[in-house]
Amino acid sequence: MKAYKYRIYPTKNQAIEIDLQTEKCRQLYNKLLALKKDTYKDKGVTLSRKDLYREVKGNKEAYSQVSQNVADRINKAYGNFFARVKRGERKKGFPRFKKYGKYASITFPQIVNPEKIGKKTNFPKIGWLNTIYHRPITGTPKTLTIKKAKSGKYFITISCANPKTETLKHGKGEIGIDLGLNHFVATSDGEFFDHPKPMKGIAKKRKALAKQFSKTHKRSNNRNKARVRLARTDEKIANIRNDYGWKLCKTLIQKHETIYLENLNARGMVKNHQLAGAITDVSWSDFTNKHPYKAESAGGKVLKVNPKNTSQMCSGCGDIVKKTLAIRTHNCPNCGLKIDRDINASINILTKGKIGLGQPECKPERDEANTDGISPKQALSMKQEAIIST
Ligand SMILES: [Zn+2]
């Protein structure tokens, strides 16, 4: 399955209809969830997907197809919850009720006329939707999701079965890469890839907008306006990040067969309050999560290694050479090796990978129709450290 995302331009009335359907689905979601929880509590019975479907049938509020998907989402939320419990994760995330505004999309689980998709998009009750298909769809369209982004823009996501996969060929050999603040990526081959250029300016702009937002009064019109402005900037940041990340992944995989990178989750827990840093964090986690997909499609491999000591250890002799963040050059008093600190780290990552310390990536969980990635705000709460100094 492959998801294609396009922007749509609904008329005022269509937008109202989409918002209304979304809200009805949210209410249905909460109703079904309450029913499932209560039935278990009172009778010890877990309602199955079929039971929920039966319940949905009686609901004439939302479109029947769309409401069936609401039942599917509850099933999925439970499934994800049990999977997390099984894996012994700290945050189990038991399915919760959705507050107003926290349910932002509706999904049509069956596309009636798949051949029409890609030309014009027709919906029951909504009608023809003005859509810009900026890239062609491949495969058979299966499901379609309409989503209102926080920026107020509307998008559709079409998932297709049997898409034409990009014929990407992996290169040869192994490489270690280090993610840093100075350069986005430093490789064990001695190459640097910088952070996307427009990020710096836009990070500044976001900071200013966030300040504006914090000064507005709660539940005021100005606050809503400021929220939309902030969301639009976040959208831009996400776009730059995605675009850059994909291109870099592609470049690296076309050159190598196996890529070793840091397991970001194993980094220290030093808080990073800087906004630019937060954006960097997201870019990194985004990058390390997307890498494996790209590599797999090309038949290559991406393995994660524990980053412990990789920045302090000498890649020449293995001695620990303590250095603060300000020191950019690794200068070993023992063996005399003098190289860039990030290159030194990437060579250590490669070495760890070569001796078999690399772990395959565990696939990230995708939540319902969310293709936007992580917001900088979420990144802040992830409390990932910008750079390890021990
Ligand atoms: Zn040394």
**Is 167 within a domain?**
no
Question: Residues 79, 135: one domain?
Answer: yes
> What spacing in Å lies between the alpha carbon of 348 and ligand 1's midpoint?
12
Parts of the chain with a pLDDT under 70: 118-121, 166, 265-282, 358-390
> What spacing in Å lies between the alpha carbon of 315 and ligand 1's midpoint?
6
> What spacing in Å lies between the alpha carbon of 330 and ligand 1's midpoint?
9
> What spacing in Å lies between the alpha carbon of 325 and ligand 1's midpoint?
19
Bridge partners for 176 per DSSP: 260
> What spacing in Å lies between the alpha carbon of 141 and ligand 1's midpoint?
56
Confidence (pLDDT) at 22: 93
Question: Residues 105, 251: one domain?
Answer: no
Question: Residues 200, 305: one domain?
Answer: yes
> What spacing in Å lies between the alpha carbon of 167 and ligand 1's midpoint?
42
Give the residue from 161, 184, 206 where a domain finishes: 161
Question: Residues 36, 185: one domain?
Answer: no
> What spacing in Å lies between the alpha carbon of 369 and ligand 1's midpoint?
49
Q: Are 291 and 250 in contact (CB under 8 A)?
A: no
> What spacing in Å lies between the alpha carbon of 343 and ligand 1's midpoint?
14
Give the residue from 93, 128, 161 where a domain finishes: 161
pLDDT in tens, 89-113: 888 888 999 998 889 999 988 877 7
Question: Residues 9, 60: one domain?
Answer: yes
Confidence (pLDDT) at 225: 92
**Is 148 within a domain?**
yes
**Is 168 within a domain?**
no
Question: Residues 16, 62: one domain?
Answer: yes
Give the residue from 107, 137, 161 where a domain finishes: 161
Question: Residues 77, 201: one domain?
Answer: no
**Is 207 within a domain?**
yes
**Is 166 within a domain?**
no
> What spacing in Å lies between the alpha carbon of 321 and ligand 1's midpoint?
8
Confidence (pLDDT) at 359: 67
Dihedral-angle region of residue 309 (phi above 0 means left; psi in -120 to 50 means alpha; beta otherwise): left
> What spacing in Å lies between the alpha carbon of 263 and ligand 1's midpoint?
24
> What spacing in Å lies between the alpha carbon of 274 and ligand 1's midpoint?
33
Total domains in the chain come to 2
> What spacing in Å lies between the alpha carbon of 281 and ligand 1's midpoint?
30
**Is 390 within a domain?**
no
**Is 389 within a domain?**
no
Tell whether pTM > 0.75: no
> What spacing in Å lies between the alpha carbon of 19 and ligand 1's midpoint?
62
Question: Residues 133, 228: one domain?
Answer: no
Question: Residues 306, 179: one domain?
Answer: yes
**Is 388 within a domain?**
no
Structural domain harbouring 90: 2-161
> What spacing in Å lies between the alpha carbon of 312 and ligand 1's midpoint?
10
Confidence (pLDDT) at 67: 87
Question: Residues 191, 317: one domain?
Answer: yes
> What spacing in Å lies between the alpha carbon of 335 and ligand 1's midpoint?
4
Confidence (pLDDT) at 380: 34
Enter the tokens of residue 101: 């505004």
Q: Are 77 and 40 in contact (CB under 8 A)?
A: no
Question: Residues 316, 215: one domain?
Answer: yes
Confidence (pLDDT) at 378: 37
> What spacing in Å lies between the alpha carbon of 326 and ligand 1's midpoint?
20
Confidence (pLDDT) at 384: 31
Question: Residues 254, 122: one domain?
Answer: no
Rounded distance between C-alpha atoms, residue 378 and residue 238, angstroms: 13
Q: Are 67 and 28 in contact (CB under 8 A)?
A: yes
Which residues does 111 contact at the CB level (< 8 Å), separation at least 6?
117, 141, 142, 143, 144, 158
Whole-Å CA distances, 71 to 66, 162, 279, 368? 9, 26, 35, 12
Enter the tokens of residue 224: 């809503």
